[in-house]
């Protein structure tokens, strides 16, 4: 027989547990500062830390209930809240040396404390997750203090599998697609993400997340990652020496960098391969295709595949807008049908590997938006997809030992392969992180094959 008291007690417990669950789910409970652990967090273990913190935590809306909207000055908000105009003027005046309150950006939030006569006695402003202003009236004089928040670094891990596109699979894994771009950059010399991504490919990654009071404010470096492409595993760990990121290496200390990127587009699809005896669909005769075509929307950034010097950058007949880069006495690359060149890129300019040099277009003899990419060795066309290029230098001998220790630690941070084991404490909606319109466009159209084989 359960007594009335016990019943009430059980009901109260249920309520508290339910509330904590809801608050955690909504992300209202802040993470503990300086979180050291790196494994994906499970709900059960995370709950105990949440319980300790629950009394202190206020949501942003509770702490700073008022939000500045576009074209409405602070003065209007404060006077509408009953603050005397003279109070507003004095406050803005005394804050001036640290912050101009008369020009607050939309989205800035604030909180007021007024006495019974609606005199303002205290005000707090939040300009961004990183910056706050605290104001207090002490003996009728306003005092302002700018508070810069401490940024905490937390290690977060994600694991996922490609089931439609790499991008969508990142969203499925509650992962910011920004990290997919970082991963594609790290493995850009090993995997051609524009043509080698396969259904069933898997990836796992550990990155540094920057937090202020538990709120996401950005990403640091990727610490370790693994991408399994068509059954072949590629691992990368960051080597950091005295706080400086040196580069990404295999566990054996080999550099992941090579002299040439595997593709001039980060994401795009090969629509026509290098073929010395291609039968031209329009001309109805054999005509060599001396390059590789990548279908991608107009405006997709084109990267230089290696360091070099621009030798040609202008409109040239069937090629449309053409860019040519000389990498050394042996290697040259060319990029055709461009819509435009990147700012500052012209004949004679030096470019770096991975630098955006131009944008995909549909200029010249081309029936759809695409990039025609050519690769020359000693002045002769070769198939860029068939080249094997030497790697950059491995970890230097004197760093080998410290690298090995670091690499081992970092690889241990990667989550286990079963995606179902993976539960994040505070699920966020990654749609908050705006996907570049360009990629959005691309992924929406990825099946419509809007790019055609080119005509030259
Ligand atoms: Zn072509």
Nearest to 237 by CA among 226, 228, 229: 226
pLDDT of residue 57: 58
Q: How many residues does the chain have?
A: 456
> Rounded to 5 degrees, what angle do the CA atoms 104, 109, 114 make?
105
Considering the domain architecture, whether residues 232 and 180 belong to the same structural domain is answered as yes
Considering the domain architecture, whether residues 298 and 407 belong to the same structural domain is answered as no
pLDDT of residue 372: 96
pLDDT of residue 428: 36
SS3 assignment, position 131: strand
- Is position 288 within any domain? yes
Considering the domain architecture, whether residues 343 and 409 belong to the same structural domain is answered as no
pLDDT of residue 41: 31
Cβ-based burial of 20 (10 A; exposed 0-12, middle 13-18, buried ≥19):
middle
CA 395 – CA 272 distance, rounded (Å): 38
Q: What is the pLDDT along the chain (456 residues), one digit of tens a residue?
A: 444 445 554 444 444 444 443 333 333 333 223 333 333 332 222 333 333 333 445 777 888 999 999 988 899 999 998 888 988 898 999 999 888 998 888 999 999 998 888 888 999 999 888 889 999 998 888 999 999 989 999 999 999 888 888 888 888 888 888 898 899 889 988 888 877 888 889 999 999 999 988 888 899 999 999 999 999 999 999 999 888 999 999 999 999 988 898 899 987 788 889 998 887 766 677 888 999 999 999 999 999 999 999 999 999 998 999 999 999 999 999 999 999 999 999 999 999 999 999 999 999 988 899 999 999 999 999 999 998 887 888 999 999 999 999 999 999 999 888 643 343 333 333 333 333 333 333 333 333 333 333 333
CA 58 – CA 60 distance, rounded (Å): 6
Report the CATH number that the domain containing residue 210 is assigned in CATH. Answer: 3.10.450.350
- Is position 8 within any domain? no
> Rounded to 5 degrees, what angle do the CA atoms 15, 5, 56 make?
35
CB 99, CB 92: distance < 8 Å: no
pLDDT of residue 285: 79
Considering the domain architecture, whether residues 274 and 374 belong to the same structural domain is answered as yes
- Is position 38 within any domain? no
Nearest to 167 by CA among 438, 451, 453: 438
Ligand 1 midpoint to CA 229 (Å): 26
Domain that holds residue 333: 269-386
CB 299, CB 360: distance < 8 Å: yes
pLDDT of residue 6: 53
Ligand 1 midpoint to CA 297 (Å): 15
Final residue of a domain: which of 331, 355, 386? 386
pLDDT of residue 179: 92
**Cα distance from N-terminal residue to C-terminal residue, the chain:** 88
Other C-beta atoms closer than 10 Å to the C-beta of 217 total: 15
Nearest to 106 by CA among 92, 127, 80: 127
CA 402 – CA 297 distance, rounded (Å): 45
Considering the domain architecture, whether residues 280 and 380 belong to the same structural domain is answered as yes
Beta-carbon neighbours within 5 Å of ion ligand 1: 291, 293, 372, 454
pLDDT of residue 12: 44
Cβ-based burial of 397 (10 A; exposed 0-12, middle 13-18, buried ≥19):
exposed
Ligand 1 midpoint to CA 383 (Å): 12
SS3 assignment, position 272: strand
228's CB contacts (< 8 A; 6+ apart) are: 201, 202, 203, 234
Q: How many domains does the chain have?
A: 3
Final residue of a domain: which of 90, 125, 148? 148
pLDDT of residue 417: 82
- Is position 320 within any domain? yes
- Is position 193 within any domain? yes
Helix (H) or strand (E) holding 401: helix 400-412
Final residue of a domain: which of 116, 131, 148? 148
Considering the domain architecture, whether residues 158 and 97 belong to the same structural domain is answered as no
Considering the domain architecture, whether residues 244 and 164 belong to the same structural domain is answered as yes
Considering the domain architecture, whether residues 194 and 97 belong to the same structural domain is answered as no
pTM above 0.75, yes or no: no
Ligand 1 midpoint to CA 4 (Å): 81
Ligand 1 midpoint to CA 455 (Å): 7
The per-residue DSSP string of 341-378 comes to EPTT--TT-EE-TT-EEEEEB--SS-SSSEEEEEEEET
Considering the domain architecture, whether residues 170 and 253 belong to the same structural domain is answered as yes
Considering the domain architecture, whether residues 378 and 277 belong to the same structural domain is answered as yes
CB 30, CB 53: distance < 8 Å: yes
Ligand 1 midpoint to CA 322 (Å): 12
CA 42 – CA 34 distance, rounded (Å): 18
Considering the domain architecture, whether residues 419 and 356 belong to the same structural domain is answered as no
Ligand 1 midpoint to CA 221 (Å): 36
Ligand 1 midpoint to CA 194 (Å): 16
Nearest to 367 by CA among 302, 452, 280: 452
Report the CATH number that the domain containing residue 356 is assigned in CATH. Answer: 2.70.70.10
- Is position 17 within any domain? no
SS3 assignment, position 115: coil
- Is position 20 within any domain? no
pLDDT of residue 168: 84
- Is position 192 within any domain? yes
Considering the domain architecture, whether residues 195 and 179 belong to the same structural domain is answered as yes
CB 230, CB 196: distance < 8 Å: yes
């Amino acid at each position: 027989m359960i007594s009335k008291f016990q019943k009430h007690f059980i009901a109260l417990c249920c309520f508290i547990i339910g509330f904590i669950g809801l608050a955690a789910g909504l992300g209202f409970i802040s993470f503990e500062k300086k979180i050291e652990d790196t494994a994906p967090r499970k709900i059960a273990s995370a709950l105990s830390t949440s319980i300790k913190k629950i009394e202190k935590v206020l949501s942003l809306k509770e702490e700073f209930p008022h939000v500045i909207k576009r074209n409405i000055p602070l003065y209007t908000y404060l006077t509408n809240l009953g603050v005397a105009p003279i109070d507003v003027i004095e406050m803005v005046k005394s804050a001036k040396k640290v912050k101009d309150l008369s020009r607050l950006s939309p989205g800035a939030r604030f909180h007021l404390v007024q006495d019974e006569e609606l005199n303002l006695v205290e005000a707090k402003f939040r300009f961004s997750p990183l910056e706050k202003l605290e104001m207090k009236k002490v003996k009728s004089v306003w005092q302002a203090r700018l508070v810069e928040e401490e940024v905490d670094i937390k290690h977060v891990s994600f694991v996922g599998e490609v089931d439609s596109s790499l991008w969508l699979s990142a969203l499925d894994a509650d992962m910011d697609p920004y990290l997919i771009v970082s991963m594609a950059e790290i493995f850009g010399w090993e995997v051609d993400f524009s043509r080698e991504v396969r259904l069933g490919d898997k990836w796992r990654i550990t990155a540094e997340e920057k937090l202020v009071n538990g709120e996401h404010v950005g990403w640091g470096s990727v610490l370790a990652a693994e991408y399994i492409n068509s059954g072949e595993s590629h691992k990368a760990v960051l080597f950091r020496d005295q706080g400086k990121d040196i580069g990404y290496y295999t566990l054996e200390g080999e550099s992941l960098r090579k002299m040439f990127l595997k593709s001039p587009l980060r994401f795009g699809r090969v629509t026509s391969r290098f073929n010395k005896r291609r039968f031209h669909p329009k001309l109805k005769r054999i005509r060599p295709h001396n390059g590789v075509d990548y279908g991608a929307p107009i405006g997709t950034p084109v990267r230089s595949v290696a360091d070099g010097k621009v030798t040609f950058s202008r409109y040239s007949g069937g090629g449309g807008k053409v860019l040519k880069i000389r990498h050394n006495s042996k290697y040259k690359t060319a990029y055709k049908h461009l819509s435009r060149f990147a700012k500052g890129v012209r004949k004679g300019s030096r470019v770096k590997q991975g630098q955006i040099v131009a944008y995909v277009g549909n200029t010249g003899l081309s029936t759809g938006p695409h990039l025609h990419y050519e690769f020359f060795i000693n002045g002769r066309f070769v198939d860029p997809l068939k080249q094997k290029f030497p790697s950059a230098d491995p970890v230097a001998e004197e760093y080998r030992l410290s690298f090995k220790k670091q690499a081992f630690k970092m690889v241990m941070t990667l989550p286990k392969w079963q995606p179902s084991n993976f539960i994040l404490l505070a699920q966020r909606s990654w749609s908050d992180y705006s996907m570049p319109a360009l990629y959005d466009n691309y992924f929406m159209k990825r099946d419509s094959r809007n790019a055609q084989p080119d005509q030259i």
